[in-house]
Amino acid sequence: MTRRRTVELPDHPDFLWVADQKPKKSYDVIIIGAGGHGLATAYYLAKNHGITNVAVIEKGWLAGGNMGRNTTIIRSNYLWDESAGIYDHSLKLWENLEEEVGYEMFFSQRGVMTLAHSVSDVRSKQRNFYANHVNAVDSVWLTPEEVKEIAPIVNISEDIRYPVMGATFQPRGGIAKHDWVAWGYAKAAADMGVDIIQNCEVTGFKIVDGKVQGIKTTQGDIAANKVGMVAAGHTSVLANMAGFDVPLQSRPLQALVSPLLEQVLDTVVMSGAVHVYVSQAHKGELVMGAGTDSYNSYAQRGGFHVIEHQLAAACELFPIFERAHLLRTWGGIVDIAPDASPIIGLTPVENLFINSGWGTGGFKATPGSGWVMAATIANGEPDALAKPYALDRFISGHLIDEHGAAGVAH
């Protein structure tokens, strides 16, 4: 089990890339969105495919969206074969990512535990457990007593509102430091010649005879042979600019942290029944997440009632938390497809590609998402792992219903 580590790095790593980079007149590929998925796409375009004349366009600052606003959980124990394929590929990339890009990311494989609170919940989790074994994804079934051994602060009393009746456990799962992941990808991509352009908002596309030829931005028009939309909750806005719709809902997803505490939790604990998932970061703060707010919004904040419900359940499952204080909360904008699975691949506009719909589980997929998106852009056709996630599955009915497979899709 990985304990906390301390590494001395600058607080403001502007030297890792050109902070005030101005766009060139044209690029081979433009990636819209300098979050984790966009930066990873640019990195793998350069590393795997030798395409370095690439620009990553960001309307705000690097990692200012969901990449810097998530709860950093990494796992691959999904139910469906298609999900297990792409998420476990991503987890394998995580395991060597720090060495590959040459940058500390605090990747910690401390395990991810998912609690079951009822008979139906146990059946659902065990179904997931057996599916993981079929797909060669590591998974262990835990009794309540074994849950207590791994996470002593969990209340396994039968008298609480949501009694713990068992849990699945993925030992290879864990956490990483989200902003440092973005910085590592940005540094590695910039070292290979990728331009990272901040404070440059896309206002439209240049499309001629059904083929994209560039983008319009607040810093002027930029020509490109290919364009990738990797903008999370704002992808539907970009798609509308290009003249087509995507089946996405954008909603706030909230998280919170406590002040720095002594180490009390050495793993990640999730509860889909009450929408609580918690880990303890390397410095000591508790990082907790809730479910999505019920309304559509582009505001990076959410309703207090969601946090209130989450904390009430968390304090019952973890009685020691009653002594902690809430330091701050924040929200990210997640893009949710009808089947709670991503949309990756081609669009109705030639050479305009999409990578979106990761919903509440985008951070864990960062390396895998970038890998398959880069291959899709470079080759002009979906990567094998991305083929099931085509936009036209909502016409054919070949859905990957992770929404119906689990109580929470984190």
**Domain co-membership, 269 together with 301:** yes
Indicate if the pLDDT at residue 61 is higher than 90: yes
- Looking at residues 133-158, what average pLDDT do you find? 97
157 with 53, same domain: the answer is no
Do both 323 and 184 map to the same domain?
no
Q: What is the CATH number of the domain that holds 276?
A: 3.30.9.10
State whether 374 and 264 are in the same domain.
Answer: no
DSSP labels, 143-188: -HHHHHHH-TTS---TTSSS---EEEEETT-EE--HHHHHHHHHHH
- 77 within domain boundaries: no
236 and 182 share a domain?
yes
Asked if residue 130 is part of any domain, the answer here is yes
Q: How confident is the model at residue 168 (pLDDT cuts 50, 70, 90)?
A: very high
Residue 389: CB atoms within 10 Å: 26
> Do 325 and 358 reside in the same domain of the chain?
no
User: In the prediction, which pLDDT does 304 show?
Assistant: 79
* pLDDT surpasses 80 at 227: yes
User: Which residue, 201, 239, 191, is CA-closest to 222?
Assistant: 201
pLDDT, average across residues 104-110: 96
β-bridge pairing 202-208 and 328-336: unpaired
CB 253 within 8 A of CB 330: no
Question: What range defines the domain where residue 324 resides?
Answer: 108-172+249-334
In sequence order, the β-bridge partners of residue 214 are 206, 223
Question: Is the same domain home to 211 and 329?
Answer: no
- Please compute the mean of the pLDDT values over residues 69-78 and round it to a whole number: 94
pLDDT at 401 over 70: yes
Same domain, yes or no: 239 and 295: no
Domain boundary among 303, 334, 365: 334
Helix (H) or strand (E) holding 372: helix 366-379
Average pLDDT over residues 356-375: 96
Residue type, 121: D
Summarised one tens digit per residue, pLDDT across range 248-306 is 999 888 889 999 999 999 999 999 888 889 999 999 999 998 878 777 877 777 777 88
Could you tell me if residue 103 is inside a domain? no
In-domain check, residue 211: yes
pLDDT category of residue 410 using cuts at 50, 70 and 90: very low
| Final residue before a domain boundary, out of 334, 350, 379 | 334
Q: What is the mean pLDDT of residues 23-48?
A: 98
Split into its structural domains, the chain has a count of 2
Confidence band, pLDDT 50/70/90 cuts, at residue 403: low
Q: Is residue 83 part of a domain?
A: no
Identify whether residues 288 and 226 lie together within a single domain: no
Top-confidence residue, 161 or 373: 373
Q: What CA–CA distance (Å, rounded) separates 227 from 135?
A: 34
Distance CA 351, CA 357 (A): 19
CA gap 274, 404 in Å, rounded: 16
Q: How far apart are CA 44 and CA 303, in angstroms?
A: 37
Last residue of some domain: 334, 354, 375?
334
Question: What does pLDDT average to over the chain?
Answer: 92
Q: Has residue 218 been placed in a domain?
A: yes
